[in-house]
């Protein structure tokens, strides 16, 4: 079962940067691909989860129209795409789970938790 969350999370990336919904330490190369290796750990609902493995990573389109109406070409509006990492992560006590973490522009969100 997959549960959708779309909740903000604080993420530290493999390159050492910590984010709290703000900017990340990793940048992008000339083709727009993320240059960091993804999340190292994240805090969700007050619990820190350590990433055991990055299972997959992809780019997906998001429903930007729900946020901004019919103006996708206006400068300063959120981009229509997001980078997603599917990770296996474990809290300090408990079993590991699978989570989809997305980065919208400079903000990280927990998109889905897999049971």
**pLDDT digit string, tens, across residues 37-94:** 689 999 999 999 999 999 999 999 876 566 555 555 556 666 678 899 999 999 999 8
In this prediction, residue 106 carries a pLDDT of 78
Residue whose structure tokens are 């909740």: 7
Which residues are 34's β-sheet partners? 28
Residue appearing with tokens 């390159």: 15
pLDDT at residue 115, rounded to an integer: 81
Angstrom distances, CA of residue 53 to CA of 12, 33, 103, 111: 14, 20, 18, 17
Number of H helices, E strands in the chain: 1, 8
Alpha helices in 1-115 (DSSP H): 65-68
CB 85 within 8 A of CB 98: no
How do residues 8-18 score in pLDDT, each as one tens digit?
A: 999 999 875 55
pLDDT of residue 28 exceeding 60: no
Q: What is the pLDDT of residue 1?
A: 86
């Amino acid at each position: 079962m997959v549960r959708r969350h779309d909740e903000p999370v604080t993420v530290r990336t493999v390159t050492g940067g910590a984010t709290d919904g703000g900017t990340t330490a990793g940048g992008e190369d000339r083709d727009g691909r993320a240059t960091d290796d993804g999340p190292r750990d994240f805090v969700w609902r007050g619990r820190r989860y350590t990433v055991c493995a990055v299972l997959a990573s992809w780019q997906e389109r998001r429903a930007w129209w729900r946020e901004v109406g019919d103006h996708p070409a206006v400068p300063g509006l959120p981009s229509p795409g997001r980078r997603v990492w599917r990770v296996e992560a474990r809290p300090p006590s408990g079993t590991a789970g699978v989570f989809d973490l997305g980065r919208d522009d400079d903000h990280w969100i927990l998109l889905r938790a897999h049971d």
